[in-house]
Amino acid sequence: MVDFLNAAAFSIYGLPASWAELIGAVLGVAMVICNIRQIHWAWPLAFLSSVLYVFVFGDAKLYAEAALQIFFAITALWGWWQWLRGVSDTGLALRPQSLPHSITIKLIAFCAVFMPAIALFLSKFTNSDVPWWDAVPTVLSLVATYLLGKKYTANWPLWIVVNLISIGLFAYKGLWLTVGLYALFALMAAVGWRAWLQVMKASA
């Protein structure tokens, strides 16, 4: 099974795209569509896509991104429970909501600590050639996943930032299918942001 996932499905500009990358990309698009529509099946799709991308990023020596996919797979279970059973501070079912300033400050502090920590770890203990560019979108993705699970609308603009940074990173690594995927993700995040804002406005 591992050999199949690592095998080339096709080539882009002479660089192979593996079956893991292809299947993970398709599942990723389906996941974002479900996220935009607030369909809870997005989280099982996230789980499967993340597992596949562990193989893709590990092979490209993007170790923080590979580790992030393991985290995504685990938090997909949390996100699924949140969307099925989670409640807001008011005790009502979760729905698109604004991000409180108190949480914003905590998340900025989280980024300030963990971005350099992960970058330094990658520099010292791995053969990564892009430790900072690997660390930054990794930490921002952790924050965006938390925001998505809690249905804070701020997850969408943050995903746009993550996707734009990732496009450059994956292009450098020659992961062209994933470059196209993340460009699509950026556009879909803009659509999701608008859709969630409309839902929040309608329920105000």
Give residue-wise pLDDT tens across range 118-167. Answer: 999 999 988 888 889 889 998 999 999 999 999 999 999 999 999 999 99
For residue 34, the SS3 value is helix
Q: What is the mean pLDDT of residues 97-124?
A: 95
pLDDT for residue 179 is more than 60: yes
Residues 76, 45: Cα–Cα separation, whole Å? 9
Helix, coil or strand: residue 91: coil
- pLDDT over 70 at 14, yes or no: no
| Contact criterion met (CB below 8 Å) for 50 and 73 | yes
Cβ count within 10 A of residue 91: 6
d(CA 201, CA 59): 44
pLDDT tens string 23-82: 888 999 999 999 999 999 999 999 999 999 888 888 778 887 788 889 889 999 999 999
Q: Quick one: pLDDT at residue 55? A: 85
pTM of the model: 0.86
Would you report the helix, strand and coil content of the chain in percent, each value rounded to 5? 75, 5, 20
Q: Which residues lie below 8 Å from residue 9, measured CB to CB, with a gap of 6+?
A: 16, 17, 18, 19, 21, 22
142: CB partners within 8 A, 6+ apart: 68, 71, 110, 114
